[in-house]
């Protein structure tokens, strides 16, 4: 490990300890990776790409303290709302399927009745005889 890499890791660990102790020097004290990066005076991508083990360690320690990061709280709230909405949509879908089946049965009955009426109409036409107009040929 290079000297620079070791120095970064030391800075991150020191920042981690300050944040977890509630004694930040440079950040707002939030228990989040952004605050950790500010507190350690490193770029955020250093934590999210180069020192992912330290980022994961930080979040594990945060959880061990019983603190849930704000980002996780927001995600949990969004998940809850999404699950509630999904339940509503599934119930609507169930109702619409039942309505569709009912309408399909109605259409089938109407088609049968329509065919029956057309058949009756054709039978009636064939037995209809036109009435005389009332004129006599002798007049």
Q: What are the pLDDT tens digits along the chain (139 aa)?
A: 677 778 899 999 999 999 988 889 998 888 889 999 999 999 999 989 999 999 999 989 988 888 776 777 888 899 999 999 999 999 999 999 999 999 999 999 999 999 998 887 777 666 656 677 776 655 5
Q: Is residue 19 domain-shared with residue 61, that is, in the same domain?
A: yes
Per-residue confidence (pLDDT) for residue 131, from 0 to 100? 76
How many DSSP H helices and E strands does the chain contain? 5, 0
Contact by Cβ (8 Å): 76, 84: no
The answer for 31, left when phi > 0, alpha when psi is -120 to 50, beta otherwise, is beta
Q: How far is CA 10 from the centre of its chain?
A: 41
Is 112 among the domain residues? yes
Q: Do residues 88 and 41 both lie within one domain?
A: no
* Residue of 36, 9, 34 whose CA lies nearest to 20: 36
The answer on 79 and 57 residing in a single domain is no
What residues make up the domain containing 87? 68-125
Residue 127's φ and ψ, nearest 5 degrees, are: -100, 0
Alpha helices in 67-138 (DSSP H): 70-127
The pLDDT assigned to 128 comes to 59
pLDDT at 134: 72
For residue 43, what are the contacts with CB-CB under 8 A and spacing of at least 6? 37
Whether residue 9 is found in the same domain as residue 61: yes
């Amino acid at each position: 490990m290079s000297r620079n890499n070791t120095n970064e890791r030391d800075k991150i660990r020191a920042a981690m300890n300050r944040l977890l102790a509630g004694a930040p020097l440079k950040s707002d004290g939030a228990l989040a990776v952004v605050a950790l990066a500010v507190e350690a005076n490193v770029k955020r991508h250093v934590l999210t790409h180069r020192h992912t083990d330290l980022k994961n360690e930080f979040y594990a320690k945060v959880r061990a303290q019983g603190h849930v990061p704000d980002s996780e709280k927001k995600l949990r709230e969004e998940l809850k709302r999404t699950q509630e909405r999904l339940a509503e949509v599934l119930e609507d879908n169930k109702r619409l399927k039942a309505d569709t089946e009912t309408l399909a049965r109605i259409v089938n009955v109407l088609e049968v009745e329509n065919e029956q009426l057309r058949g009756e109409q054709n039978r009636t036409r064939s037995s209809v005889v036109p009435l005389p107009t009332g004129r006599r040929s002798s007049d």
